Amino acid sequence: MPALSFHHVTKDYITDDQRVRALDSVSLDIASGEFVALVGRSGCGKSTLLNLAGAMDFPTAGEVLVGGVATSSLKDSALTKLRREKVGFIFQSFQLLHTLTVFENVELPLLLAGQRNARASAAERLALVELEGLGERYPHQLSGGQMQRVAIARALIHRPSILLADEPTGNLDTATGNVILQLLLGVTREQHTATIMATHSVEAAALANVVVRLRDGRIQEIERR
Amino acid sequence: MPRFSLFYRLICRPLWAEPARTALAALAIALGVAVVLAIDLAGNAATGSFHSSLETLAGDNDLEIVATGGVPERVVGALAAMPYALRISPRIDGYAVLTDTRQSVPLIGLDLVANVSELSTRPSGVDIANLQDSLKYLSDYDTVWLGESFKRGIGDRVPLLINDHLAEYTVRGVFPDSNGSAAAIVMDIATAQRALGRLGTIDRVLVKIPQEMTLDTWQQRLSAILPAGTEVRLAGTSTAENRKMLAAFRWNLRLLSYIALVVGAFLIYNTISVSVVRRRADIGIVRALGASRAAVLIAFLGEAFCFGLLGTVLGLPVGRLMASVAIKLMSATVESLYVSSRPGPLDLDAGAVILAFIIGIGVSVASAYSPAREASLVAPVEAMARGRREYLAAVHKLRDLLWAFALGFAALAASRAPAVGGKPLLGYLATLLLILASALAIPAFVAGAMHLAGRSLGKLFGVEALLASRSLSASLRRTSVLVGALSTAIAMMTAVGIMVGSFRQTVLLWMEDQLPADLYMRPAGNVGPDRHPTISTDLVETIAHLPAVAAIDRLREYEISYDGMPAGLASIELNVLRSYHNVDFLSGRSTNAVLADLRGQNAVIVSEPFANKHQVRAGHSITLSMGETRSGFRIADIYYDYSSERGTILIDRETLLRYLPDPAPSNLAIYVAPGTSIADARATIEHAAAGRRVLLFTNRDLRGEALRIFDRTFAITYALEAVAVIIAVMGVAGSLLALVIDRRRELALLRFLGAASAQIRKLIVAEAALLGMLATAAGVALGFTLSLILVFVINKQSFGWTIRFHWPVAVLVGALSVVYLATVLAGLYPANVAVRLRPIEVVHEE
Amino acid sequence: MRNSLAFLTGLLLLFPVSSQEFRLALPGYHYEFPRDHFSHPDFQTEWWYYTGNVRAAGGHRFGFELTFFRQALDRNPSKTSVWDVRDLYLAHLALSDLDARGFYYAERLNRSGPGIAGVRQNDGRIWNGNWRIDWKGNEQTLQAIDNRFTIELDLRAEKPPIIHGENGVSQKADGPGRASHYISLTRLAAKGQITLGGKPFEVSGLAWMDHEFFTHQLDADQAGWDWLSVQLEDDTELMLFRIRRKDGSIDPYSSGTFIDAQGRSMHLRDSDFVLRPLNDRWKSKATNADYPIHWRITIPKLRMDFEIQTSLPSQELTGGSRLAPNYWEGSVQINGRKGEAPLAGVGYLEMTGYDRPVEMGR
């Protein structure tokens, strides 16, 4: 069973009374341990695909199956539970909470899930992203690369089966970006996650097992390596 | 860039975009303006336009001649014979109760014969239609003339309760009374003297003088032929004196009403600050596009102006409505504590409207100045910088704390200063300084509290509390302003609550001491702080000789004017007092020792408010006009008294009767004989008093009534605080709403990170709860400090009585819980807004 | 006679008055002075009337009138307060500025109260507020204060009191008691000060006092009257009145008195004199009353023939007050002859009932 499946998924948005088709009959299976690069121009539907994959949104038609369960069939609380257990998000602009320390940022998903003692897990994840000892710092005391590492650590804290990254290197210089990409690749292998990364970068795409090219909401090509 | 489009872009669009927040800010100002306006209007109607009932039908006279206990009537003949073209109008001033409608009405005795001739100018100014015809009934001592507003016809019989007598009178004529503003019962002077039992004296002589020469000259000329005890003063002096007395009462209420406005100002400051912080990028852009600093300043002041304008427009009708409630409370207080009066009409005139606009817009713009100036200082390059701003604000918190200490010390110094012109100006200054000090100390307090509480909050109340506390301490400035506003409101509530509670407790304890008799009797006729109807002496004698009665204390009170202020002059019976009663004196001397000083001497004891109002101490001598003489009286001591703010002078009954021989008492304190039950004694007395209109109270009844009046008096105070608290709570709601909108990215992220919508709601409500907790803690601390100033400085200086400090625990806990609950509930709406945010739109909008 | 009758009428309408308990003016009354210069509370109605013509050092002429009037309401002994109304005291004051053609008048109504108005022989005082007469021996001082003018005069009687009528009564109508006791001081030398508009005038001249007291003297058919006092340069005086009846005739109870230079009086019956208006009239704008202001007197048995004229036609008192009817009372000059010799004098003329009949009855 694939970790994540899209079956003929179509997604329409309504903006200013106009229907815009963001995804058009997309079908895709992603297995655990696969590192998928989602490429295409801005507005081609990458973010929409990630949102659907992360159970943050529902398809207009078709089905998204996370761990074999169709997201459309779930209520809000079940979706929240699904996200808490199975999905980790990484964003282009890191999206750390500036009022929290590095530790607290990393712990946050566990805390939100109701766990009290998450400090050990957080420390372990920080070690994974090679940020031991920076746990008490605040985000604004970190470099961009370090912040994205914190974000990765946060995305991994609850051992998700799906890792969704939206332009994770978009705000970083090339060298730092490469380090982050290597980190994501390593995590995918070691944690056996199904990782989907939306990216503009050719270098980034080159690292992936699977490259999915999107254009105007349709899959143009799936390249498996 | 044209100025208007700048204004539109920076200000109007954001305002329209968030109608709820705009509305809340405007409402805060609206309520503030409404309260100030309401108190002003009601104050005007209840006290400002106060007209002593003595002015009813008083005509256009220049001078009046008065004397304690009445002017000897022969004075009228002497005045009439003076070789000047004077107009002399003798007059009896009393009260009657129209028992069928329970109206208490001025009863005026005039020389109606002198009013008949149309060739001479009317002495009284009363224009009775067909007076000549109705004078046929002059010799019938049941003849009255009534104001039109009573709607009685000629020939109607009206039951009048005068002193302790009820009798029917016949209406022989009516006169125009301009819709009740001059409503009165007019009798011929001979009838009035009989009805009121005042044969031999009249209450006043009104004098109209010729134009030439000054009032002073006439005052001297008239005084020269009058007995020493009479006073020639300007007509309307009583109104002026009473107005002066009421001014302090009004002043205090007005200041309380400003608290609501101060809280409103906090919130406008906050609103504009939020606007500035949020639109920093926009400001940078318009600055980059060429807008001047001044233009930006004006644009944000313009925003405040809009809030002020909108708030005032909303506040005017609300204020008018509140005024109609306030006037009832205020006039009840005036009636029970100060002087008999009828409230004037509520007059929302152009002046009041303009003042409301000035206050509403002025406070709004003034409180926006600091953030608007900050906006004008934004450099164009900051256009793209975001999010760093809040950290800078925190830097000043230590400096502010030092200022707070400095202001605190200044407040301490101010609180020790004496009253200025009878008003506790420096006391109020101390209050204001303390509020400022507290506002300045609050950032440090919030930061400190959050730092201390930080992690444990998360441990105790979960991740939402952690996030809430972090968010609050991160936006320290905004949080501080909110806590400042709410804590000011809570502080005032606490302070006034403590003050009133202490006062109430003090009065309760005092009454235990001061009401030693078993039964009290007073005439059923209208009693007031300035009205002292009397009990017939034959009834008094009957009661004194009842076997069930051990002793009676005949109290007689007169309304006098001392040093330009109204006061009470009352007689006591030393023998009775000595054997039954302990009076508490400031000196701590025993009752017997002090009373021994009074016996047979020209000596008095004065109440504490009297001593404070007139700056006299034991051993001083005061000059009193009584009857026809003026004599000096030594102040033997000063006694604690909470029954009258006007101040009272007590004198031995024997001494008083030497000057004013009228033996009829205004009140009786009755001591029941040992072995007789109070109920039996009461029945016996009531039997003896059958046919007389007197009221008999037990000790308990009297205390109950006193407390009822007390509570009614302070009802308006509570109402004012409630409004301030409502404004503050509204401010919490509005600010949380702003906070939600500002933090929508963070809230959305939390959803991505696995937060359930319930958790988002809980987070916002937790912030409200934290704000409430901080504000309550700061408010109670500040409130306690303020209450010390209220109790020991302001109260003492403006009313002159010593209050013992008392924590009204139940009341405070109750009130604070309600406020706290309201604050938490105020978080619900913003919480719902937060839950409805669509996370994916927010996160990907960048 | 005098207009006081009219005041009476007004007051009788206003106040319930019982005349039962009062004494009637009957023949044989024993006069005694100074007692009879003061109050007679047994009689229901009483008045003191001062009129005069005076002249300032510069020749400026004034006429004046000051009337004190007492009307008893009742003598109920339960009235114990000083404010109780036993008598009403009315007073009229008028000043005629004959040369500047100004006429000023004022009215007062009071109860006696605590010394507001009254008559007291002990103090020699008749007063209503600060309008007052003070007797000292044979002399009186008159003081009247108004906001426009003041009058202060010393009055010295040059002749003893005159008692009008016959047998001590001046009969006014048919029936016992329909009469008054009527005393006059017909020649009072007046000297003092008049202030008008803030300007003082030292004045001297002649004044006349009437004092009348009675109970219930009038007849319902009487419509008005004309009364005249004359002080002639030969030290003699005349008092004449004629009562006009509603049917237009002259009442036979009209009468008069002549006082010779020695102070002896002679009663004049209706048939002894003619008092007749001539054509010169003055019409009041205020009341439409048409007053004859030019009169002729002929008294054959005294060989007197005079014309009476006024230099100020507008001496009408109109209060609008129902206490008194509108009436004309003013200073007049007398010119004519006694026998062959020309004789002149000054006087006061009173005319009532010219706007409408004065209501006499009750």
**In three state form, how does the secondary structure of B414-461 look?**
HHCCCCECCECHHHHHHHHHHHHHHHHHHHHHHHHHHHHHHHHHHHHH
pLDDT for C362: 33
Kindly tell me if the per-residue pLDDT of C148 is higher than 60.
yes
A161-170, B6-15, B739-748, range with the lowest pLDDT = B6-15
* Residue type at position B559: E
Residues from chain C contacting residue B90 (CB–CB below 8 Å): 113
Give the chain B residue whose CA is nearest to the CA of C146.
B85
pLDDT digits (tens, 9 = 90+) for B522-557: 888 766 777 788 888 889 999 989 999 988 888 888
Query: Is B111 in contact with C109 (Cβ distance < 8 A)?
Result: no
Q: Is B669 on the interface with A (CB under 8 A)?
A: no
Give the chain B residue whose CA is nearest to the CA of A154.
B753
Going by DSSP bridges, is the β-strand pair C265-269/C255-259 parallel, antiparallel, or unpaired? antiparallel
Q: Which residues pair with A12 in a beta bridge?
A: A21
pLDDT for B845: 45
| Spatial CB neighbours of C89, under 8 Å, sequence gap ≥ 6 | C68, C69, C70, C108, C109, C110, C111, C112, C116, C117, C118, C128
Kindly tell me if the per-residue pLDDT of C85 is higher than 70.
yes
pLDDT digits (tens, 9 = 90+) for A64-122: 988 888 888 888 888 888 888 889 988 888 888 888 889 989 988 888 888 877 888 88
Kindly tell me if the per-residue pLDDT of C11 is higher than 60.
no
pTM reported for the whole predicted model: 0.74
Among B117, B130, B187, B201, most C C-beta atoms within 10 A, so best to mutate, is: B117
Q: Is A125 on the interface with B (CB under 8 A)?
A: no
pLDDT classification of B395: cutoffs 50, 70, 90: low
> How many CB pairs (< 8 A) connect A and B?
67
Pick from B74, B83, B133: which is nearest to C145 by CB? B83
HSE-up (13 A, CA, CB side) for residue B277: 22
Average pLDDT over residues B548-568: 87
pLDDT classification of B387: cutoffs 50, 70, 90: very low
A55-64, A65-74, B457-466, C64-73, range with the lowest pLDDT = B457-466
pLDDT digits (tens, 9 = 90+) for B617-659: 999 999 998 888 888 999 999 998 887 778 899 999 888 888 8
Ramachandran sector of residue C171 (left: φ over 0; alpha: ψ -120 to 50; beta: rest): beta
pLDDT classification of B586: cutoffs 50, 70, 90: confident
Touch of A by C (3+ CB pairs closer than 8 Å):
no
| Spatial CB neighbours of B41, under 8 Å, sequence gap ≥ 6 | B319, B320, B323, B326, B327, B346, B347, B348, B352
Residues from chain B contacting residue C318 (CB–CB below 8 Å): none
Query: Is C83 in contact with B190 (Cβ distance < 8 A)?
Result: yes
Q: Which two tokens stand for residue C62?
A: 């004034």
Residues from chain B contacting residue A112 (CB–CB below 8 Å): 463, 750, 753-756, 759
pLDDT classification of C158: cutoffs 50, 70, 90: very high
Q: Chain A: give the shortest CA distance to residue B501, in Å.
A: 43
| Spatial CB neighbours of C249, under 8 Å, sequence gap ≥ 6 | none
CB atoms near residue B13 (< 10 Å): 12
Give the chain B residue whose CA is nearest to the CA of A47.
B844
Pick from B746, B757, B843: which is nearest to A97 by CB? B746
Query: Is B467 in contact with A100 (Cβ distance < 8 A)?
Result: yes
B436-440, B481-485, C146-150, range with the lowest pLDDT = B481-485
Q: Which two tokens stand for residue B386?
A: 């975001």
Pick from B85, B138, B190: which is nearest to C81 by CB? B190
| Percent of chain B at pLDDT exceeding 70 | 91
Of residues B458 and B148, more confidently modeled: B148
In 3D space, the residue among C355, C185, C172, C168 whose CA is nearest the CA of residue C263 turns out to be C185
Pick from B474, B755, B757: which is nearest to A99 by CB? B474
Kindly tell me if the per-residue pLDDT of B272 is higher than 90.
no
| Percent of chain B at pLDDT exceeding 90 | 12
Q: Which chains touch A (3 or more CB pairs under 8 A)?
A: B
Which run of H or E residues covers position A202? helix A202-206
pLDDT for B35: 87
Pick from C79, C114, C147: which is nearest to B210 by CB? C147
Q: Is A113 on the interface with B (CB under 8 A)?
A: yes
The residue with tokens 């002729």 is C296
Give the chain B residue whose CA is nearest to the CA of C145.
B85
pLDDT for B116: 67
CA–CA dist B681, B763 (Å, integer): 68
Give the chain C residue whose CA is nearest to the CA of B132.
C14
pLDDT digits (tens, 9 = 90+) for C288-336: 889 999 999 999 999 999 999 999 999 998 865 556 678 899 999 999 9
Query: Is C81 in contact with B210 (Cβ distance < 8 A)?
Result: no
Pick from A56, A84, A109: which is nearest to B839 by CB? A56
Going by DSSP bridges, is the β-strand pair B201-208/C294-299 parallel, antiparallel, or unpaired? unpaired
Q: What is the mean pLDDT of chain B?
A: 83
Kindly tell me if the per-residue pLDDT of B6 is higher than 80.
no
Of residues B373 and C118, more confidently modeled: C118
Query: Is B459 in contact with A116 (Cβ distance < 8 A)?
Result: yes
pLDDT digits (tens, 9 = 90+) for B724-765: 888 888 888 888 888 887 788 888 888 888 888 888 999 889
| Spatial CB neighbours of B417, under 8 Å, sequence gap ≥ 6 | B426
Q: Which chains touch B (3 or more CB pairs under 8 A)?
A: A, C
Distances (CA, A) of A186 to A39, A180, A208, B753: 20, 10, 11, 22
Pick from A83, A112, A166: which is nearest to B463 by CB? A112
Query: Is A99 in contact with B466 (Cβ distance < 8 A)?
Result: no
In 3D space, the residue among C349, C285, C296, C295 whose CA is nearest the CA of residue C318 turns out to be C285
Query: Is B73 in contact with C146 (Cβ distance < 8 A)?
Result: no
pLDDT for B756: 87
Ramachandran sector of residue B387 (left: φ over 0; alpha: ψ -120 to 50; beta: rest): left
Maximum mean pLDDT: which of A112-116, B122-126, B534-538, B575-579: B534-538
Among B451, B463, B473, B757, most A C-beta atoms within 10 A, so best to mutate, is: B463
Interhelix angle B463-474/B425-461, rounded to 10 degrees, is 140
Q: Is B221 on the interface with C (CB under 8 A)?
A: no
pLDDT for B386: 47
Kindly tell me if the per-residue pLDDT of B570 is higher than 50.
yes
Q: Are B71 and B244 a contacting pair, CB within 8 Å? A: no
Maximum mean pLDDT: which of A213-222, B281-290, C33-42: C33-42
CA–CA dist C155, C124 (Å, integer): 14
Q: Which chains touch C (3 or more CB pairs under 8 A)?
A: B
* Residue type at position C150: T
In 3D space, the residue among B530, B566, B582, B569 whose CA is nearest the CA of residue B652 turns out to be B569
Kindly tell me if the per-residue pLDDT of C265 is higher than 70.
yes
* Residue type at position B302: G
Backbone phi and psi for residue B119, each to the nearest 5 degrees, phi listed first: -80, -30
Q: Which residues pair with B520 in a beta bridge?
A: B669, B697
Q: Is A15 on the interface with B (CB under 8 A)?
A: no
Backbone phi and psi for residue B804, each to the nearest 5 degrees, phi listed first: -90, 135
Q: What is the mean pLDDT of chain C?
A: 88
Query: Is B74 in contact with C15 (Cβ distance < 8 A)?
Result: no
pLDDT for A144: 85
Residues from chain B contacting residue A84 (CB–CB below 8 Å): 754
Q: Is B543 on the interface with A (CB under 8 A)?
A: no
Residue B585 DSSP symbol: B
Maximum mean pLDDT: which of A12-16, B330-334, C207-211: C207-211
Residues from chain C contacting residue B133 (CB–CB below 8 Å): 14
pLDDT classification of B1: cutoffs 50, 70, 90: very low
Query: Is B80 in contact with C116 (Cβ distance < 8 A)?
Result: yes
Q: Is B225 on the interface with C (CB under 8 A)?
A: no
Q: Is A74 on the interface with B (CB under 8 A)?
A: no
Kindly tell me if the per-residue pLDDT of B181 is higher than 80.
no
CA–CA dist A48, B541 (Å, integer): 102
Catalogue the E-assigned strands of B78-117.
Answer: 87-98, 103-110
In 3D space, the residue among C83, A87, C51 whose CA is nearest the CA of residue B199 turns out to be C83
CA–CA dist B268, B557 (Å, integer): 53
| Percent of chain C at pLDDT exceeding 70 | 90
